[in-house]
Amino acid sequence: MKNKYSFVLIMLLCILLGSVGLTTLYVAKEQAEEEEDFKIVTSFYPMYIAALNIVGDAENVSLQNLSEPQTGCLHDFQMTPKDMKLLSGADVFVINGGGIESFMEEVAETYPELAVVEACSEVEFLEEGIEDSFVAEDEELEASRTGHVHEHEHEENAHAWMSISSYRIMVATIAEQLASLDEAHAEDYILNAQIYDAKLQDLQEEQQELFAMTEGTNVILFHEAYAYVADEYGMNVCYELNLDEERQVSAGEIADVLEAVENDGVTYILAEELYGKEIGTTVEKESDVTVLYLDTLNRGDYEKDSYLNAMHNNIELLKQELIK
């Protein structure tokens, strides 16, 4: 009888100690860069790359990104406890702005003290693209039933990093604001931003070389992020289909796309490889339009030049298509 109770006690103690021990081991491994003076957290990939270039080799500054959403775009991103923890230790939170960070309300409520740098505060957003009635209807329904309004609906198109000129403004904004928040490293930030901006300028010039050839071309977009690309190249957007991870297209929409291709003499469709490939192949088969799979730069490797490289690839892709 007594035996049994002591068994239970010992068993529970063992499990407790075991889990505490294992957890300690695990956490110890995670806690490597706790000792930095100034902690910057970014909301997602393009912000991280921009901040990475601005921070450069500045000492005692740590830079971390929120956990990467599985789905690419931030719309349905859910903060994990780890993200909450990350933010609780942060000095600055760098966000894109324009409503893309749908969790900002929650963050502002939980951490009213946290300084927020909105990269797009100086950027003029494009209007939401051509109204896709199907999406709008669907989203209204969804909003009414879940109480969760899809952030796109009444917001501007916030995918400004897709345009190099806007991205340059964003980099400058982040650098300025970081400099004012962290005076110890202010010079580093401004200097690094200037170096990065020079590289971006080269990239932009490379892009502008194509302008004469692309201006006035009719295109269809499979993601609203490409509205910025189309804008920079002076392309006319005839139809926009907002494909992402949680939407499947209906046959009717494909018919609409094909009709737009037919009627407006569309030459290119700009699409994302991950979500647009299937429909892209279908449309290519049915008509003589070319689908260009451009990187939306919302994920990739965490290298300094990731933005430059990905953007360069996008430009190259278009250039080869134009020369053909």
Partner 1 sequence: MIDWTSWLDYGFMRYALIAVLIITPLFGLMGTMIVNKKMAYFSDALGHSALTGIAVGVVFGVQDTNLSMVVFAVIFALLLNKIGSMNTASTDTIISVFSSCSVAVGLAILSKGGNFSKYSSLLVGDILSITKAEIGYLAVIFVITILFWLFGYNALNAICIHKTLAKSEGIKVKVFENLFAVLVALIVMLSIKWVGILIINALLILPAASARNISVNMREYHLFSLVFAIFSGVLGLMVSYYTNVATGPMIVIIASVIYFATFLYGRNERNK
Contact call for residues 38 and 185 (beta carbons, < 8 A): yes
Please, which residue, 147 or 216, has the CB nearer to partner 1? 147
CA 171 – CA 47 distance, rounded (Å): 9
Residue found under tokens 């298509």: 321
By C-alpha distance, which of 268, 240, 271, 235 is closest to 253?
240
* Least distance to partner 1, CB of residue 208, Å: 39
- DSSP designation for 126: B
DSSP 140-194: HHHHHHHS---TTTTS-B--GGGSHHHHHHHHHHHHHHHHHH-GGGHHHHHHHHH
Nearer to partner 1, 14 or 184 (CB): 14
Contacts (CB under 8 A) with partner 1, residues 188-207: none
The verdict on 108 binding partner 1 (CB under 8 A) reads: no
Which region among 18-26, 116-124, 201-209, 303-311 touches partner 1 (by CB under 8 A)?
18-26
Q: How far apart are CB 26 and partner 1 at their closest, in Å?
A: 5
Q: Quote the least distance from Cβ 141 to partner 1, whole Å.
A: 8
Member of 6, 11, 159, 178 binding partner 1 (CB under 8 A): 11
CB-wise, 138 or 316, nearer to partner 1?
Answer: 138
Q: How far is CA 183 from the centre of its chain?
A: 28
Q: Does 17 bind partner 1 (CB under 8 A)?
A: no
Q: How far apart are CA 83 and CA 312, in angstroms?
A: 32
The one-letter amino acid code at 177 reads Q
Of residues 21 and 265, the one with the C-beta less far from partner 1:
21
Q: Which of 112, 147, 216, 252 binds partner 1 (CB under 8 A)?
A: 147
146 belongs to the binding site for partner 1 (CB under 8 A) = yes
- Tell me the closest approach of the beta carbon of residue 42 to partner 1, in angstroms: 19
* Near partner 1 by CB under 8 A: residue from 19, 194, 236, 313: 19
Span near partner 1 by CB under 8 A; candidates 55-63, 125-133, 139-147, 182-190: 139-147
Determine the Cα–Cα distance for residues 156 and 99; give it in Å rounded to an integer: 8
Find the binding residues for partner 1 in span 24-43 (CB under 8 A): 24, 26-28
Residues 6+ apart with CB under 8 A from 81: none
Interface of this chain with partner 1, residues 64 to 93, rule: CB under 8 A: 71, 76, 78-82, 84-85, 88
Whole-angstrom Cα distance, residue 41 to residue 24? 24
CA gap 126, 64 in Å, rounded: 29
- Cβ neighbours, 10 Å, residue 57: 7
Query: CB of residue 115 vs partner 1: minimum separation in angstroms?
Result: 20
Rounded CA separation 229/210 (Å): 12
**Residues between 228 and 287 with contacts to partner 1, criterion CB under 8 A:** 245-248
**Residue 79 or 322: which CB sits closer to partner 1?**
79
Tell me the chain's radius of gyration from C-alpha atoms.
24
What does DSSP say about strands 115-118 and 92-95: parallel, antiparallel, or unpaired?
A: parallel
Name the minimum Å distance from CB 248 to partner 1. 3
Interface ranges with partner 1 (CB under 8 A): 4, 7-8, 11-12, 15-16, 19-20, 22-24, 26-28, 71, 76, 78-82, 84-85, 88, 110, 138, 142, 144-147, 245-248
